[in-house]
Chains A and B, each alone.
Chain A
Amino acid sequence: MATTPVTARVAVDIGGTFTDLVAVDSEGRVRRGKAHTTPDALERAVLEVLAQSGTPAESIATFVHGSTVVINAVTERRGARAALVTTRGFRDVLEIGRANRPDLYNLRYRKPSAFVPRHLRHEVTERVDYTGTVVEPLADAELLEVARQLEEQQVEAVAVVFLHAWVRPDHEAAAARLLRRALPGVTVVASHEVSQQWREYERTSTAVLSAYVQPVVAAYLAALAKGLTDAGVDARLYAMQSAGGVCSFDRAVRAPITMLESGPVAGVTAAAALGRRLGTGQVLAFDVGGTTAKVSAVLDGVPPVHTLHHVDRSPTSAGYPVQVPVVDIVEIGTGGGSIAWVDDAAGLHVGPRSAGAVPGPACYGQGGSEVTLTDANLLAGRLDPEFFLGGQLALDTGSASAALGRLAARLGVEPAEATRGVLRLAVAQMANALRLVTLRRGLDPRDFTFVAYGGNGPLHAALLARELGIRRVVVPPGPGHFSAFGMLTGGVTAQSVQTFVAPLDNADLAGLLDRVGSAAREELGEPDAAVRHWLELRYRGQEHTLEVPVPALTAGDDDLRRALADDFARRSEREYAFRLDAPLEIVAARAEAVVPLDDTPWGIGDDDDVPLRPPRSRHVDFDQHGGVMSTPVVDRRSLAGETPLQGPAVIEEQASTTLVLPGQAACVDADGNLVLEESDGR
Chain B
Amino acid sequence: MDADRFTLDILREAFLAVADEMFVSLQRTSQSPVVYEVLDFAVGLTDPSGELVSQGNGVAGFLGPLGDAVTAVRETLPQLQPGDVVLTNDPYAGGGTHLSDVAMVRPIFVGDELVAYAAAKAHWTDIGGKNPGSWSSDATEVHQEGLVLPFMRGWRAGRLDPDIVRLVAANSRLPDQAVGDLLAQGACLDVADRRVRDLCSRYGTVTVRSAMREVLERSERLARAALADLPRGVFEAEDLADGDGLGNGPFPVRVRVAIDANGVHCDFTGSHPQVPGPINCTWTGLVSGVRTVFKALTDPREPATDGWFRPLRITCPPGTLFTATRPAPVGAYFESTEIASDLVWRALAEACPERLPAGHFLSVCSTSLTARHPATRQPALLVEPHAGGWGGGEDTDGESGLVSVGDGETYVIPVEVAEQRYGLRVERFAIHQPDTPAGAGRHRGGRGLVREYRILGDDALLTVAMGRHDAVPWGRSGGRDGSPNYVEVVSADGTTSGRFGKVTAKTLQPGDLVRIVTGTGGGWGAPSERPDDLLAEDICDGYVTEADIAAFYRST
Query: Counting CB contacts under 8 A, is A129 at the interface?
Result: yes
Residue B36 CB within 8 A of the other chain? yes
Given known pairs A101-B403, A345-B222, A425-B6, the reply for A108 and B416 (CB within 8 Å) is: no
- Give the distance in Å from the alpha carbon of A106 to the alpha carbon of B302 in the complex: 11
Residues of B within 8 A of A91 (CB): 430
B187 pairs with A316, CB closer than 8 A: no
Per the bound structure, the CA–CA distance linking A201 and B417 in Å amounts to 11
CB-based contact A347/B59 at 8 Å: no
Number of interface residues of A (CB under 8 A): 72
Would you give the 0/1 interface string for B134-151, flagging 1 where the beta carbon is closer than 8 Å to chain A?
000000000000000000
- Contact residue among B357, B409, B430 (Cβ-Cβ distance under 8 Å from A89): B430
**CB distance B180 to A544 under 8 Å?**
no
Q: Are B37 and A543 in contact (CB under 8 A)?
A: yes
Chain B residue with the shortest CB-CB distance to A436:
B17
Contact A103 B414 (CB under 8 A): no
A105 and B429 form a contact (CB under 8 A): no
Interface class of chain A by DSSP: loop
Q: CB-nearest residue of chain B relative to A344?
A: B225
Q: A99-B411, A201-B414 are in contact. Are A347 and B60 (CB under 8 A)?
A: no
B interface, how many residues as a size bin?
35 or more
Could you tell me if A347 and B9 are in contact, using CB atoms closer than 8 angstroms? yes
Q: Is the C-beta of B27 less than 8 angstroms from some C-beta in chain A?
A: yes
Q: Taking A95-B400, A96-B412, A111-B399 as contacts, is the C-beta distance between A316 and B425 under 8 angstroms?
A: no
- Is A99 a contact of B429 with CB atoms below 8 Å? no
Q: A105-B60, A110-B396 are in contact. Are A428 and B10 (CB under 8 A)?
A: yes
What distance in Å separates the Cβ of A576 from its nearest Cβ neighbour in chain B?
Answer: 5
Residue in B closest to A432 when the chains form the complex, CB atoms: B17
| A541-B357 CB under 8 A given contacts A105-B295, A109-B399 | no
Instruction: Determine the distance from Cα of A575 to Cα of B21 in the docked complex, in whole angstroms.
Output: 10
The interface residues of chain A lying within 8 Å CB-to-CB of B104 are none
Q: Please give me the residue from chain A that is nearest to B218 by CB atom.
A: A345
| B408 neighbours in A (Cβ, 8 Å) | 100-102, 104
A170 at the A/B interface (Cβ < 8 Å)?
no
Distance, CA A460 to CA B107, complexed state (A): 37
Shortest CB distance A568–B (Å): 13
| Known A201-B414, A435-B17, A578-B25: A417·B428 in contact at CB below 8 Å | no
User: Could you say which residues of chain A place their CB within 8 Å of the CB of B449?
Assistant: 92, 96, 99
CA distance A321 to B202 in the complex (A): 39
Partner of A348, one of B9, B29, B355: B9
B408–chain A nearest beta-carbon distance, Å: 4
B97 within 8 A of A: no
State which of A119, A198, A414, A425 has its C-beta within 8 Å of the C-beta of B416: A198
- Chain A CB count within 10 A is highest, among B10, B57, B304, B356, for B10
Which of A110, A130, A425 counts the most chain B CB atoms within 10 A? A130
What are 25 inter-chain pairs, A to B, with CB distance below 8 A? A90-B429, A91-B430, A95-B400, A95-B401, A96-B387, A99-B449, A100-B411, A101-B410, A104-B57, A104-B60, A108-B396, A109-B399, A109-B402, A130-B419, A131-B375, A343-B222, A347-B12, A421-B6, A440-B24, A542-B30, A543-B33, A543-B37, A544-B27, A578-B25, A580-B183
What is B's interface to A at a CB cutoff of 8 Å? 1-2, 5-6, 9-10, 12-14, 17, 21, 24-25, 27-31, 33, 36-37, 57, 59-60, 176-177, 180, 183-184, 187, 190-191, 218, 221-222, 225, 292-293, 295-296, 300-301, 304, 345, 354-357, 375, 387, 393, 396, 399-403, 405, 407-412, 414-417, 419-420, 425, 427-431, 449, 452, 540-543
With A100-B409, A543-B31, A580-B180 given, can you name 9 additional A-B contacts, CB distance below 8 Å? A90-B428, A135-B425, A345-B221, A349-B9, A425-B10, A428-B13, A432-B13, A440-B24, A582-B180
Which A residues are closer than 8 A to B by beta carbons?
A: 89-93, 95-111, 117-119, 129-131, 135, 163-164, 166, 198-202, 315-316, 343-345, 347-349, 411, 413-414, 417, 420-421, 424-425, 428-429, 432, 435-436, 440, 501, 539, 541-544, 572, 575-578, 580, 582
